């Protein structure tokens, strides 16, 4: 299968987690570990997943790396038994670049 991704995926060297602070879905998911991240989205490793097309606001707990949390908005585009892929709809470009520079 050919890789159709436009942006390079980065696996973060340490365990970095994200907390879902808002979701328009009826199901509650608190968050999980970030499996990989790019400028367009991320894969969140979690036991509980939201349905496809659920809108979320996340807090990436990056205080240990950046000195502050990073807030990102996104849309769940894919789920599997390991977690969910979230496409970013809004992220501060400077904060995202800092996350990707690990």
Distance between first and last Cα of the chain: 28
CATH architecture for residues 17-100: Beta Barrel (2.40)
- Report the distance separating Cα 75 and Cα 59, nearest Å: 14
Q: Choose among 11, 9, 32: nearest CA to 20.
A: 32
List pLDDT tens digits, range 61-97: 988 888 999 999 999 999 999 999 999 999 999 998 8
Tokens of 89: 């709809």
Q: What is the pTM of this model?
A: 0.85
Contact at 8 Å (CB) between 102 and 13?
yes
Q: Quote the CA–CA distance of 91 and 14 in Å, as a whole number.
A: 21
* Six-digit token string for 79: 């789920």
Summarised one tens digit per residue, pLDDT across range 11-53 is 665 678 999 999 998 888 888 999 899 999 999 999 889 999 9
């Amino acid at each position: 299968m050919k890789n159709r991704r436009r942006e390079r995926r980065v696996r973060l060297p340490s365990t970095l987690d994200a907390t879902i602070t808002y979701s328009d879905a009826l199901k509650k998911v608190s968050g999980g570990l970030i499996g990989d991240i790019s400028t367009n989205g991320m894969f969140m490793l979690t036991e509980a997943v939201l349905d496809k097309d659920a809108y979320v606001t996340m807090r990436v707990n990056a205080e240990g790396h950046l000195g502050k949390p990073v807030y990102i908005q996104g849309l769940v585009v894919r789920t599997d038994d390991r977690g969910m892929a979230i496409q970013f709809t809004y992220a501060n470009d400077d904060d995202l670049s800092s996350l990707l520079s690990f």
